């Protein structure tokens, strides 16, 4: 065997021995308590029809974008969507990326320079960590949602300072005190950046806009693969930021642009979102129901993401397997994806989950905690 193959084999065996081996699975027809399809848009027949109609009304339509935005992949349609979304989210400008991962990689690898400082909440998403790692800036983390910890890092920061938070954290589902964080970052002349991946949907245009803070935040990242049920992302900010990213963000420059059908899906999903007051209310009711029928756990969040901390990888895996046996698609989140000792099952609630399904989840969780 070549040394590369030996290396691969050894690493996979090591991962397997640690009980951390990842495998791909396909849908097993279980009740969905794990996807990010919070409003059911990914499965929505109404959205499928809207996309089909819009797609068929455009002519001529290309199957693929044919190149990067800077070469052949840009269309008037693309720019019109960016302007429309910027207005919808209350921003001066926006730039589309092929995914939230690409958006964060592009933004954080290109903007902060050597001598600058990026300060992230310790639970920040991997895409932001990866982007920051590609920059030459100093990097700090602060304790989750802890303003004292953030302030101590702000005091030590040099150069231009970027503070990064999520408005709904992807693994814990909780929300930071954005207004208070903003006060602090303003005091230190730092730029606040908010990733709204999991907030859009629960809040139609994200939490920042809901709090009327959109003019005070330096940049926001909105992703379309979660509540919007499609794919892609936009970085929102002022015009110069958009121009900067077009010039320096490598994950924007060196990749084929989103295909036309993705653009149509993004546009129509936002149209549907504006008419989804009832669906959002149903999601909020389901979050309330969850808290009522699952009373034994105290770490509730106000979002569709709920977690039951089990404290070890093996316990989390056992619990997820037991729930799957009961027909419920709940997944274990293991360390190192989450911190050691906080291994968990992550439960995602959706507008389409029925009361009966949440009750079923409750009795299955009861069985686990009594076992």
Ligand X SMILES: Cc1ncc(COP(=O)(O)O)c(C=O)c1O
User: Which neighbouring-strand residues pair with 162?
Assistant: 118, 191
Structure tokens of 338?
């989450």
Q: Which stretch binds ligand X (CB under 6 A): 192-200, 203-211, 295-303, 360-368?
A: 192-200
Binding mask 221-260 for ligand X (x = CB under 6 A): --x-x-------x---------------------------
What's the closest the beta carbon of residue 121 comes to ligand X, in angstroms? 11
What's the closest the beta carbon of residue 226 comes to ligand X, in angstroms? 7
DSSP letters along 43-76, please? G-HHHHHHHHHHHHHSSS--SS--S-TTTT---H
Nearest to 96 by CA among 202, 206, 228, 246: 246
Sheet with 117-121, edge to edge strand ranges: 93-97, 233-237, 219-223, 191-195, 161-166, 117-121, 138-142
**By CB under 6 A, what part of segment 110-169 binds ligand X?**
125, 127, 166
> Could you tell me if residue 40 is left (phi over 0), alpha (psi between -120 and 50 degrees) or otherwise beta?
left
What's the closest the beta carbon of residue 3 comes to ligand X, in angstroms? 33
In three-state secondary structure terms, 188 is coil
Query: Which of 33, 41, 88, 101 is in the footprint of ligand X by CB under 6 A?
Result: 101
What's the closest the beta carbon of residue 367 comes to ligand X, in angstroms? 30
> Position of tokens 């996807």?
35
- Asked if residues 145 and 195 have their Cβ atoms less than 8 Å apart, the reply is no
Residue 172 binding ligand X, by CB under 6 A: no
Is the C-alpha dihedral spanning 183, 184, 187, 188 positive or negative?
Answer: negative
**Is it true that the peptide bond before 115 is cis, omega within 30 degrees of 0?**
no
What's the closest the beta carbon of residue 98 comes to ligand X, in angstroms? 8
**By CB under 6 A, what part of segment 31-60 binds ligand X?**
none
CB closer to ligand X, 100 vs 204: 100
Q: Which stretch binds ligand X (CB under 6 A): 10-18, 136-144, 195-203, 252-260?
A: 195-203
What's the closest the beta carbon of residue 195 comes to ligand X, in angstroms? 5
What count of other Cβ atoms lies within 10 Å of the Cβ of residue 358?
20
**By CB under 6 A, what part of segment 62-91 binds ligand X?**
none
**DSSP-derived secondary structure letter, 200:** B
C-alpha span between 214 and 137 (Å, rounded): 26
Q: Which stretch binds ligand X (CB under 6 A): 99-107, 133-141, 199-207, 301-309?
A: 99-107
CB closer to ligand X, 348 vs 364: 348
CB closer to ligand X, 258 vs 365: 258
Q: What is the total count of residues that contact ligand X (CB under 6 A)?
A: 14
Query: Which of 197, 208, 228, 345 is in the footprint of ligand X by CB under 6 A?
Result: 197
What's the closest the beta carbon of residue 301 comes to ligand X, in angstroms? 14
Q: Which stretch binds ligand X (CB under 6 A): 2-10, 98-106, 258-266, 321-329?
A: 98-106
- Where does the chain show beta strands of DSSP type E? 31-32, 93-97, 117-121, 138-142, 161-166, 191-195, 219-223, 233-237, 305-309, 328-329, 331-333, 344-348
C-alpha span between 237 and 235 (Å, rounded): 7
Residue number of the CB closest to ligand X reads 100
Residues at the interface with ligand X (CB under 6 A): 99-101, 104, 125, 127, 166, 170, 195, 197-198, 223, 225, 233
């Amino acid at each position: 065997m070549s040394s590369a193959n030996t290396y691969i084999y050894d690493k996979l065996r090591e991962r397997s021995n640690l009980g951390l081996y990842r495998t791909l699975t396909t849908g097993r027809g279980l009740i969905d308590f794990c996807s990010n399809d919070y409003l059911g848009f990914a499965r929505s027949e109404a959205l499928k029809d809207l996309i089909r109609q819009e797609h068929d009304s455009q002519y001529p339509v290309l199957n693929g974008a044919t190149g990067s935005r800077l070469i052949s992949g840009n269309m008037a349609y693309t720019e019109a969507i960016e302007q429309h979304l910027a207005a919808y989210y209350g921003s001066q400008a926006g730039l589309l990326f092929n995914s939230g991962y690409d958006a964060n990689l592009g933004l954080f690898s290109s903007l902060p320079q050597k001598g600058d400082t990026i300060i992230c909440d310790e639970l920040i998403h991997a895409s932001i960590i990866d982007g920051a790692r590609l920059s030459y800036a100093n990097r700090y983390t602060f304790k989750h949602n802890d303003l004292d910890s953030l302030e101590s890092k702000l005091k030590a920061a040099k150069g231009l300072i970027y503070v990064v938070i999520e408005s709904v954290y992807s693994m814990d589902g909780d929300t930071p005190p954005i207004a208070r964080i903003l006060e602090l970052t303003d005091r230190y002349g730092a730029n606040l950046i908010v990733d709204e991946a999991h907030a859009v949907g629960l809040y139609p245009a994200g939490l920042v806009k809901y709090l009327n803070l959109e003019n005070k935040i330096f940049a926001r990242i909105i992703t379309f693969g979660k509540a919007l049920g499609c794919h892609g992302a936009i970085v929102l900010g002022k015009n110069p930021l958009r121009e900067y990213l077009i010039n320096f963000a490598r994950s924007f420059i060196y990749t084929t642009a989103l295909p036309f059908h993705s653009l149509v899906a993004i546009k129509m999903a936002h149209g549907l979102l504006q008419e989804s007051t009832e669906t959002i209310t149903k999601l909020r009711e389901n979050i309330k129901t969850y808290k009522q029928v699952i009373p034994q756990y105290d770490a509730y969040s106000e979002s569709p993401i709920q977690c039951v901390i089990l404290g070890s990888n093996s316990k989390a895996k056992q619990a997820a397997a037991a729930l799957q046996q009961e027909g419920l698609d709940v997944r274990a989140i293991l360390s190192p994806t989450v911190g050691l000792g906080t291994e968990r099952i992550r439960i995602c609630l959706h507008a389409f989950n029925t009361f009966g399904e949440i009750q079923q989840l409750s009795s299955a969780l009861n069985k686990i905690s009594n076992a």
